Structure 1
Amino acid sequence: MAVLDGWSDKRKHVNAFKLSFCLGVVTSLKLSIDVNVEVDHRLEVERELRKSKWIEAGRQWVAWDVNDGTKTAIQSLVDAGDADALRQKLEKRLDFGTAGLRAAMGAGTVCMNDLVVIQTMQGLVAYLEESYGVEAVQRRGIVLGYDHRQFGTLNSKQFAAYSAAVAVSRGIKVYLYEGVVATPLVPFAVDRLGCVAGIMVTASHNPKADNGYKVYGSNGCQIIPPHDKRIAASILNHLAPWQLYDITNIRSQTADPTAELVAAYFDAMTPLVRYPQDNANPLYHVKVAYSAMHGVGHEFTRQSFSKFNLPPYYPVEAQMHPDHTFPTVAFPNPEEGQGALHLSFETAAK
């Protein structure tokens, strides 16, 4: 009986151990489940906070935007509660550097659009006022030019108009070219008119959906460090529109330097002609094919040839006139070679 009692006691200890182990496992599982539930809850709260953050950022954009197209694009994402898409549109800003801005046209802070241009111009104007003094900036003024680029409800002319409106709101004299101009006309005007800055709205040889914002200093040259970083910081300090800008009658509030400055630009070329007689001599003439690649260069290049007494070039007629759709070339950069210049080669071969 003693042996049996011993086995009975051992069995009791084993059963007690099993029960204790099982209770421990159950407790651990419960704790694990509780922890997982808590983690899931915390992650859900964080997701909701992030979503709320970008929804609110979208609403802020819509409240500030002046363009129906880009405003509608962001509003549709807000209505859909698409926080990820809003984050992609609004999390980062275009970097303002020595070349200004350049990016695809579209909605959000990562693209070129009316609101980004307004914010950029406000930051630039504030920096100029700080650097030169309000009175000097008002008196000396700013010159603005633009090309023919357009994408949806966004275009270069509109970007220039909103830039002018920002400057006018601060009492600054604005010289706004009438119609599209070649980029050199802006820094030339800055130098000739004694302006504190110049802005050219163009993306040069970029694809058709892109646009850009080139800034020139009072010396007529592209800005250099540290001015670019200081302007970038000023932009961030002036994101909220100073007022509701109306560009309907902006022409009546600005000066048009086109006739005077274009003539002066080509007149300034005359002293640079080293061999006017040789240039006019048919014995030295070579045939030149030229393509504007659907940009604004044809008329200005034609006049340049004339000023140098050079014979007219042979234009690539299919690419001669400004066309924002760039129908014959996807990437209008002559550095691309054959892919961009095949029509030029064909014209030269005729």
Structure 2
Amino acid sequence: MRRVVIGTAAVSMALSMAACGKAGDKKDDSGSSSSGGGSKTIGLLLPDSVTARYEKFDHPLFDAKVKELCADCKVEYANAAGDAAKQAQQVSSMITKGVKVIVVSAQDSAAIKSSIQTAVNKGIKVVAYDRLAQGPVSAYVSFDNVKVGELQGQALVDALGSKAKKSKVVMINGDDADPNAGQFKQGAHKALDGKVDIAYEQSGLWKDSVAAQKMKAAITQLGAKKIAGVYSANDGMAGGIATTLKGAGISGIPLTGQDAELAGIQRILAGTQSSTVYKAFKPEADAAAQLAVNLLEGKDIKSLATTTQTSGSGDKVPSQLLTPVSVTKANIKETVLKDKVYTVQDICTAEFAKACKAAGLQ
């Protein structure tokens, strides 16, 4: 951890208002897209490279939009590789390089508070991206995260159908260090409470390995035959859960996700995952770029950040919230394919060719 307008319509809605979060990454992808500094430099700090979207979509899309809006602006980029301490060092480096605006998706929303305060004390504007960081940030852009959880929970209820009220459900939530995780959980409970029996609930820390361990524990506690469905807060964890379910001989039960990762879409086609949530990357990256450029140029952001969100530190932050979309096998073509997130060739590899044909994708 969203009902539903799909495909390009969702992107159009998100643009008119202008995306599992996930931790735990051993790969160090720190780097920059410019040699830095200067009065028109914007810093972009992303949390990890395990979550496929950040390197494949968010970073290049943000770069492209900044260049479109401000030809002489530069983007200084770094990835925290799942390490909150590394991200704090990266903020310090951005300050030293003389950036004027920092756009940050916090690896740990609370831990980064002091770094944000230091940046603001130096006259730097900070935009929280995808995750609402604590501290005096100037703006926040993300999706309606409570809605994300609602979409996930409702998709699970819908997949269970008439069996829902008698069903024991396992719930694997995200990392509590990510404020989005709490909102996904809130939304999911809104959709699930009173409709299913949540018999086991734990955090998977946004890690497939941890989620797999929690799923194994749930099976041991409840019994394989008693589990009717699984709520997973994102696709990465759903991958670990799906492997555990297969190993336990459990098949044909609904399993949720989020982020519309390629592997998640393929599992939906194969029947080992029932749904995901698509948060269109381009509208979010574009919105963040627009906010950053406006702040750099001293322009008003009220027409962009039309609502407010309260962070964990109690700061009320001007916010721009985009619209998420639930994805099942029935609307893959109208969402991620129509928006060109993936091609049919990307999805329909040899392993999934039969499933793609059955779903009308080939």
TM-score (norm 2): 0.26
Question: Which structure dedicates a bigger proportion of its chain to strand?
Answer: 2
Question: Which structure dedicates a bigger proportion of its chain to helix?
Answer: 1
